[in-house]
Amino acid sequence: MAIAFSRTPDGDIISDHHLIAEVLREALPYIDYLKGKILVIKLGGSTLEHQQIVLQDIIWLSALGAKPVLVHGGGPYINEWLKRLQIPTRFENGLRVTDAQTLEVVRMVLLGQVNQGLVLMASQMGGKAIGLCGTDAGLVRARVADERLGFVGEVEEVDPTLVQVLVEQGYIPIIAPLGQGPDGTCLNINADVVAAHLAGALNAEKLIFLSNVVGICRPDGSLISELTEEEALRLIDEGVIQGGMIPKVAACLDALRSVPRVHIVDGREPHVLLRELFTDKGAGTMIVRGARQPSA
């Protein structure tokens, strides 16, 4: 990671050893705090092209004593393959219908292309990664969300046993968002939702969404570094949070029932995980449980 040298008000470069000391002074309390803690990280399909730097950060987090678990999407790749194979896409009330043919492509892309690609890349960088999907060992059990949408699932239950065993053995689980239906069928599930439920089942310290937005912003475009779930709900009511951010923030709020802190950061930014987790300023938006306490 390149270090950008700071300058004094007079324009002189601050000595690099002072800069390194300052970086470590700021980071060490956070590193110590996260040792032994489970961090669930969701890598969105829109940010998969930046996966190498994300994986490097995750490997460093593991080396520093944290226990990262990665859940990934793959929407753009699925869309690309559906187009290549000339499989038509149908929608019901604006939601994609996943028929049997589409599900085959979803499984092929998520498991054969994205999941294994991430595992291989992490391994090449020295990470101890292992690929999973929600149908492994009953990890994610689901029901059909709506018959009109086909093989689209809603999470009913998460059994974190397999992930817990792997994490304790030092592995970095990389998980595709599929689930097992009641009759043994495979169901396609929104990756944000899988990540939120998994974080809760694992009693994770943090859930971090790597997205293609910097976080939650005020109407003037400035970033909100921290807010409570109460404030987030108010911003939805006021229309500040809108469009595609609403389901993502809803997943954050669901996760806050069992996860103390949820983060939304821009996965396109280099080393955004390290900046968000190990600096005072952070890099995105952190949503915390409960209401903000009035100042004395």
Q: Is 195 in contact with 40 (CB distance < 8 Å)?
A: yes
What is d(CA 224, CA 37) in angstroms, rounded to the nearest whole number? Answer: 25
- DSSP summary character for residue 57: H
What is d(CA 287, CA 64) in angstroms, rounded to the nearest whole number? Answer: 24
Residue given tokens 């009330």 in the structure block: 93
Catalytic residue among 73, 74, 127, 192: 192
Kindly provide the residue ranges of all beta strands, DSSP E only, lying in the chain, ordered along the sequence.
38-43, 67-72, 91-92, 95-96, 129-133, 140-144, 153-158, 172-176, 178-180, 186-188, 206-211, 226-228, 261-266, 285-288
Beta bridge partners of 264: 209, 285
Catalytic residue among 37, 75, 99, 138: 75
What is d(CA 139, CA 97) in angstroms, rounded to the nearest whole number? Answer: 24
Task: Name the region of 156 (left: φ>0; alpha: ψ -120 to 50; beta: rest).
Answer: alpha
Q: Is 170 a catalytic residue?
A: no
Catalytic residue among 179, 248, 267, 284: 248
Q: Is 248 a catalytic residue?
A: yes
Neighbours of 127 (CB within 10 A): 22
Q: Is 206 a catalytic residue?
A: no
Greatest C-alpha distance within the chain: 70
Catalytic machinery residues: 42, 45, 75, 192, 248
